[in-house]
Structure 1
Amino acid sequence: MKNLSQKVLIVDDEKANRKILKELLQDEATIIFAKNGAQAVELARKHLPDLMLLDVIMPDRSGFEVIEEIKSDKKTMNISVIFVTGLANSDDEERGFDLGGCDYIYKPFKANIVIARVMMHLELIKQRKMLNEVAHLDALTGISNRRRMDIVLADELAANKRDHKKLAVALIDVDYFKHYNDHYGHGAGDAALKKVATSFREVLQRPRDFVARYGGEEFLIILPDSNIEGTQLIINNVMKALAEKAIKHEYSLASEFLTISIGAVIVESDQSITPADVLAKADKLLYQAKENGRNQLVIESL
């Protein structure tokens, strides 16, 4: 059965070679074609294939030049590259591996070898992605962890500046959570944090909306392309979703149910600021929300 989740970009200037490789691999992955180096780079950036079968010798530029461009671009640098060549040259092999290639396939093609090597690398890529996902997930709640948050926040700040948009970053704390743990037990506390995380996931539906567990009972939400009004609406919906779960908290001074306090900052696109600046401001606003009685949002532009 065809695995549509994995993509292979075949780069070869010879139509016959592209046809052979397609026939061998079309049942194993989604196949994309490029007939020269320039097209290879363009399609790699557009489709972000898992694996590239890259001809070494092409008219416009060599496979070595293509992989140098692929590996120097942050967007495409993680694409695995198998070189395809008709020349068995140890110096070329060494150069290819030094540039970041993961394997070589030689012409004329031997069907079993091509399939075996491609399938081996696709499986390795699949496993690597799974490990990477696990490494960036919070084990308790199943949402992103602090490590992933650091990456996303830096990327979104850069994108916000480039795209001339507004970006919202909200730091969230579960109100009187120590009291909750002390009276209901840590098992109940863990269950409550899972429900809080679920509330976020129910509301944050846009493709780039992001939530992570910041640490302990703190969470962080990133809302690209969001102004004060839009952010207020989304955060109010998050608070409503949590309220509807009616998690009993008899030891809270804010409500009879579990609630959250939020400090949210709006970042303008013309501001040159660091993630640390944003987090410090959000933390200050969160403190204000707590000082004001909790179970509320305090939001300001940076």
Structure 2
Amino acid sequence: MNPGSVPRVLIVDDEPANVRVLAEALQGAYDLRFATDGERALGLAMALPADLILLDVVMPGLDGFELLRRLKAQPATRDVPVIFVTALSEVGEEERGFAAGAVDYITKPISPPIVRARVRTHLELKRQRDLLEQRALIDGLTGIANRRRFDEEWARRAAAAFEQRLPVGVLLVDIDHFKQYNDHYGHGPGDDCLRRVATALQESCQRAGDLAARYGGEEFVIVRAAGSTGEMDSHASQLLQAVRRLDLPHVKSSTGPRVSISIGAVERVPDLGDGRDLLENADRLLYEAKRRGRNRCVLAGADITATRVLQGEETP
């Protein structure tokens, strides 16, 4: 659930009169969607994920229990809270619903104040869970995506690229001589350096879908947006220049008087479904960039043996 957005509620019931009663109880506070059968509800939930679903149990064809099972089986809908709205009052039925993943029960005939209260409660719980999940994917020091977020995103993108035989781009970035920077200036300025470099890298990722993440220590990783093949050299050049424009003094660097970065970059179709081969290649190319003097990118195209050096230059 995005902060400030109107929560989306999907109402599913095979009786239009019941749909109207629920809609009137919630009118004006939510973005309401409706379905009168399970198949239609599943299609709506997949196409436009709701923040909460009010689901009738007894419906012809795809009933509430089976629909809930299918929703829980799909990554896009498995975390959406579902409240059963039903005339069934047997304890065994409630237990079955909770075991299947429902978060609450509302019995028919419904009470509008009860419906509003339950919906508010579970939407607030979802908002808090979403916020905690979002924070769990952010690096606490730099404010950009953390290693967990990268690992999840890379697994998804690499698998899709492998299956569709499409190239995917990844750049591993390391701050040159960062240990010497920390030793000389101290950990406070060192943390500030990491934050400023992270911000510069993130701001240089201008395509929707580009992801900059902290990989560990003074290392960062950038995953290129799906379908944005080519122009890797231009992207790497922007990253090099963005960090140099920070103009952070580094008197203990043998590379130059200011903070700089080295990059290993690869863009091609993964050989493995998890993309591990691309990350290993990018890591080797990062090592090569350091061996050649740092403040540069070693970039590999389709042929991993054909490497070329893109070196950072002074900004006029």
TM range (shorter): over 0.9
Gaps of 5+ in 1: none
Aligned equivalent of 1:290: 290
Aligned equivalent of 1:225: 227
Aligned equivalent of 2:308: none
User: 1:189 & 1:278 partners in 2: Cα distance?
Assistant: 30
User: 2:42 & 2:162 partners in 1: Cα distance?
Assistant: 26
Aligned residue pair count: 299
User: 1:254 & 1:226 partners in 2: Cα distance?
Assistant: 32
Moved over 6 A (4+): none
Say yes or no: does 1:141 pair with 2:149: no
Q: Secondary structure at the match of 1:258?
A: coil
Aligned equivalent of 1:63: 64
Q: Secondary structure at the match of 1:289?
A: helix
Gaps of 5+ in 2: 305-316
Counterpart contact for 1:28–1:119, Cα < 8 Å: no
Following superposition, the deviation at residue 214 of structure 1 comes to 0.7
Aligned equivalent of 1:267: 268
User: 1:71 & 1:190 partners in 2: Cα distance?
Assistant: 41
User: 2:273 & 2:104 partners in 1: Cα distance?
Assistant: 42
RMSD: 1.7
With normalisation by structure 1, the TM-score equals 0.94
Q: Once structures 1 and 2 are overlaid, which stretch shifts more, 287-296 or 199-208? A: 199-208
Following superposition, the deviation at residue 24 of structure 1 comes to 1.9
Say yes or no: does 1:75 pair with 2:76: yes
Aligned 1:1-302 pairs, distance under 5 A: 4-223=5-224, 224-227=226-229, 229-268=230-269, 271-300=271-300, 301=302
- 2:227 counterpart letter in structure 1: D
Q: Secondary structure at the match of 2:155?
A: helix
Following superposition, the deviation at residue 277 of structure 1 comes to 2.6
CA distance 1:21–1:164, change in 2 (3 Å): farther
- 1:112 counterpart letter in structure 2: P
Q: Which digits, 9 at most, give the CA deviation of each residue in 1:163-193, with x for residues without a partner?
A: 4421111111000111111111111111111
With normalisation by structure 2, the TM-score equals 0.90
- 1:138 counterpart letter in structure 2: D
Q: Once structures 1 and 2 are overlaid, which stretch shifts more, 279-288 or 236-245? A: 236-245
